[in-house]
């Protein structure tokens, strides 16, 4: 089904009817105009292209400005993403999608880009236990042996080693919508959502 493009605002807590504190992530979701509708006859698949935010015309190419103008937008969106359509779903170019697509209790999927943590060692990156901290071991946090010596005499591809951590596309499923604020275009989602503050996320049921 169609979803929304949003922005991560931050985390806070809300209280339910029984007074239990719930940690929630606040997402600014929509309004997202439908910029383009893809059809199976013309494009080979059914999907809609949604926009979110806006940017100045001088910062966009003429193709992007014309693409947005055909959808009735004054300024090009800051971000464009496609969402596949299910059977029976139909949308029109220029239609606005808002947080009214969701309601409290819905289970959603959120896709974002995780925080970049730079070059990290194997213990932090992969959760290695490390070597004994006593009995004369001088290097506690090293990887250890990384491959057989005689055969095949090389490091096997895919070996978990130190390297760049984070900054990757992460999908979190089965998050629960706690509260919907249509006046401010806000979604309150129980739990954590990948990404830093003000980073873009994709929200679908």
d(C-alpha 190, C-alpha 143), whole Å: 36
Domain ranges of the chain: 4-142+160-204
Query: What is the Cα 82 distance to its own chain's centre?
Result: 13
Nearest residue to 6 (alpha-carbon basis) of 186, 176, 174, 181:
186
Nearest residue to 2 (alpha-carbon basis) of 68, 82, 118, 77:
82
- Burial track 10-39 (b if 16+ CB lie within 10 A, e otherwise): eeeeeeeeeeeeeebbbbbbbbbbbbbbee
CATH topology of domain 4-142+160-204: Elongation Factor Tu (Ef-tu); domain 3 (2.40.30)
- Which residue in the block uniquely carries the two structure tokens 């006593």? 134
**Token pair belonging to 166:** 């984070």
pLDDT 10s digit of each residue in the chain, 205 long? 689 999 999 999 999 889 999 999 999 998 999 999 999 899 999 999 999 999 999 999 999 999 999 999 999 999 999 999 888 888 899 899 999 999 999 999 999 999 999 999 999 999 999 888 888 888 899 898 888 888 888 999 999 999 999 999 999 999 999 999 999 999 999 999 999 999 999 999 9
**Token pair belonging to 150:** 């005689």
């Amino acid at each position: 089904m169609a979803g929304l493009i949003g922005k991560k605002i931050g985390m806070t807590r809300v209280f339910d009817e029984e007074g239990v504190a719930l940690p929630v992530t606040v997402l600014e979701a929509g309004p997202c105009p439908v910029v383009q509708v893809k059809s199976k006859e013309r494009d080979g698949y059914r999907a809609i292209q949604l926009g979110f935010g806006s940017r100045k015309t001088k910062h966009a190419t003429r193709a992007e400005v014309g693409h947005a103008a055909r959808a009735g937008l004054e300024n090009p969106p800051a971000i464009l993403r496609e969402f596949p359509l299910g059977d029976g779903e139909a949308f029109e170019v220029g239609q606005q999608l808002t947080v009214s697509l969701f309601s409290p209790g819905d289970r959603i999927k959120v896709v974002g880009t995780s925080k970049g943590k730079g070059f990290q060692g194997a213990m932090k990156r992969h959760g290695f236990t490390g070597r004994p901290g006593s009995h004369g071991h001088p290097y506690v946090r090293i990887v250890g042996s990384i491959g057989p010596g005689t055969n095949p005499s090389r490091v096997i591809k895919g070996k978990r080693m130190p390297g760049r951590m984070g900054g990757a596309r992460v999908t979190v499923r089965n998050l629960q919508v706690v509260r919907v604020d249509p006046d401010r275009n806000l979604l309150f989602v129980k739990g954590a959502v990948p990404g830093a503050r003000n980073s873009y996320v994709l929200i679908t049921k």
